[in-house]
Structure 1
Amino acid sequence: MTPPLRIGYVPEHFSTPLHFAVSHFSLPCTLIPFPSGTGHMITSLQANEIDVGIGLTEGWIAGLGKAQAERREAGYKMVGAYVETPLCWAISTGGKRKDLRDVHQLKGTRMGVSRIGRYAFADCYALLVVDMLMRRSSGSYVMGFVLADKHGWLNTQASSANDASPFDIVPLQTFENLREAVNDGFTADFFMWEHFTSKRYYDNGVIKKIGEIYTPWPSWHIVARPDVIGDERLEVMIENLNLGIKYFEEHHDEAVQYISTELDYSAEDAREWLKTVNFAEDVRGVRGSVVEKTVEVLKKAGVLGEVELEGMIGIRRKD
């Protein structure tokens, strides 16, 4: 018997249509949560621990571009759209910190991220691999460069993305670790995370918001390992996920109930979020123009160099 698809997802409010696809339409799959986000899913796709991932657009494309730069297989391709609206990244610091009140103070400070991409390279003579830990980039890492580009802080003469950054970058894995780090006085000064996921912690004073930035692209996409593209199981997943999204759009009260009881959000915040988000009516396929625009911004921000767009897309839809 063919095993069900293993689907990686971030256990946040955006996962509600996926939950409905499983609970109301019997989507045959094994759901695997990744609270640390898209970068962790990339490593699991490469290790054949999951078959499909639903995560942040910039994380997927940064990972694909870096794999091309290193002339290795990324372990996945983009196969579908999920959320059509941009993501609002809230910029947060410690709840009691008085020294940071504005985004313009952040240049030269310590930026907490969930995961960081590091370049792998080998000495041509000794054939010594110095670092093989590059294979992942999180949205919280990528958006730091977008923020820096927006404010003109990037070192455009740098030889690598890390050297271009105006921040000291601190990888901390989880949202909980990030919240603790900006409050301990020495680990990190700020981090970026989705607004509504952060809001509860603004309300209780654990962290405070000093700014925000929107992605200049649709925020969530679906990727799959190359060996499952064309597989009937993937097509069944797409059909069921479309049904889950349609049910979500028609049953907002049930969505609020699920989000406010099973996830870390208040009912009020869930209702406010529903006003801001649009899911794809049909998740199948990826627009080339979306990938091109995202790559363009990431190149400008110093995250990517030259890449081949065609190699990133496993299922294409018309622009």
Structure 2
Amino acid sequence: MSLRVGYVREHFSSPLLQFAEADGGKTFTLVECPSGTGQLISRLTNDEIDVAIALTDPLISGIAKGSNAYKLVGSYVTTSLNWAVITGKDSKYASIADLKDTTIGISRFGSGSQTMAYVMALQQGWPTDNLKFKVNNDIRGLIDSVNDGTTSAFMWEWFTTKPYADSGEVRFIGSVPTPWPSWMIAAHPTRAPADALRPFLEDLSVYVREFDSAEKRATHDVAFIKDKFGYPEEDIKAWLKTVGYPTHCAAISRDVVLETLSVLEKAGFIKSPEGGFDVSQFVETDVAKLF
């Protein structure tokens, strides 16, 4: 069968894009989800995709809140994601501290832009039970919202939004790195059977390892990202110094799941059941190796 793989078209997706070009649609097709992980989860739920490469925290929190639309089947990026805190070019906000009790823009409820707002509040010592959000769907809606004053700020990956800051359309007033590895792979429990997922993850691992090699990082990766995304070469090289990928995609750290759950619970975003969370409920162990 041909898997429908949802993804966000960002520089992190480069190994996946290289795999897709080589595959030519024989074993999977890509479905772009520009609104991010909230949209990916929605499409998994609505039978629009079978697999999602998405942010760790919304995937884990979705299962913790009772979603049966997917389980974790692999890891994709092993380093944290640096979230920029972004405000309007002429707004009154000069630091993260200024955002207390304001309305934060998010792409969708359950998205990384929302979960990271809870993490930011936790770091700042703000109450998390009365945070205010406004849904703005995508990066353009979020930028318009901070500039028209309907939201104070929003959070998005640093290098993706840096061109908007460089052009003067928005301002960065801080950053909040994720306290967990940033990207994981999830799949619908019945629409993406193990006999289709295993070879997909095995082949994806080949492209991930190649992309992650010192030789490819030095030249080929820079050229590929510059061609696909148009980022300045110095930004690409700076990002490549910060990012790491797994050796095998079909492996998930038990500690990563538990530590992510712990932070999300402290932030007030999820609530632990009596007796605590069972990691095996989050992972499709027929596909992914828990270690």
Please say whether Structure 1 and Structure 2 have the same fold, judged by a TM-score greater than 0.5: yes
Matches within 5 A, 1:98-109: 99-109=92-102
Matches within 5 A, 1:100-179: 100-116=93-109, 137-155=110-128, 164-166=129-131, 168-179=132-143
Is contact 2:50–2:187 with CA below 8 Å preserved after alignment? yes
Q: Does 1:225 align with 2:188?
A: yes
Is contact 2:96–2:174 with CA below 8 Å preserved after alignment? yes
Give the letter for the 1:177 counterpart. G
Report the CA distance between 1:235 and its aligned residue: 1.1
Report the CA distance between 1:269 and its aligned residue: 1.0
Instruction: Pick one of 257, 261, 270 that aligns with 2:236.
Output: 270
- What does residue 87 of structure 2 align with? 93
Task: Summarize deviations over 1:191-210 as a string: whole Å, max 9, x none.
Answer: 00011111111111111110
Given the superposition, is the C-alpha separation of residues 100 and 278 from structure 1 closer, same or farther in structure 2, using an over 3 Å criterion? same
Q: Matches of 1:25 and 1:55 in 2, distance apart?
A: 21
Q: Matches of 1:23 and 1:229 in 2, distance apart?
A: 21
Give the letter for the 1:96 counterpart. D
- What does residue 272 of structure 2 align with? 306
Q: Matches of 1:267 and 1:219 in 2, distance apart?
A: 23
Per the normalisation by structure 1, the TM-score is: 0.84
Q: Matches of 1:86 and 1:165 in 2, distance apart?
A: 27
Q: Matches of 2:32 and 2:150 in 1, distance apart?
A: 26
Give the letter for the 1:92 counterpart. I
Report the CA distance between 1:243 and its aligned residue: 1.2
Is contact 2:65–2:270 with CA below 8 Å preserved after alignment? yes
- With 272-281 and 299-308 compared, the bigger mean Cα shift is at 299-308
- What does residue 122 of structure 1 align with? none
Q: Does 1:286 align with 2:252?
A: yes
- SS across alignment from 2:185: strand
Give the % identical residues: 37
- SS across alignment from 1:227: coil
- SS across alignment from 1:170: strand
- With 256-265 and 48-57 compared, the bigger mean Cα shift is at 256-265
Per the normalisation by structure 2, the TM-score is: 0.92
Q: Matches of 2:185 and 2:13 in 1, distance apart?
A: 12
Larger radius of gyration: 1
Unmatched runs of 5 consecutive residues or more in structure 1:
68-72, 117-136, 156-163
Report the CA distance between 1:256 and its aligned residue: 1.9
Q: Matches of 1:17 and 1:297 in 2, distance apart?
A: 29
Number of residue-to-residue matches in the alignment: 281
Task: Summarize deviations over 1:260-299 as a string: whole Å, max 9, x none.
Answer: 2222522221111111000111000322211100000000
Instruction: Pick one of 195, 198, 204 that aligns with 2:167.
Output: 204
Q: Matches of 2:181 and 2:188 in 1, distance apart?
A: 21
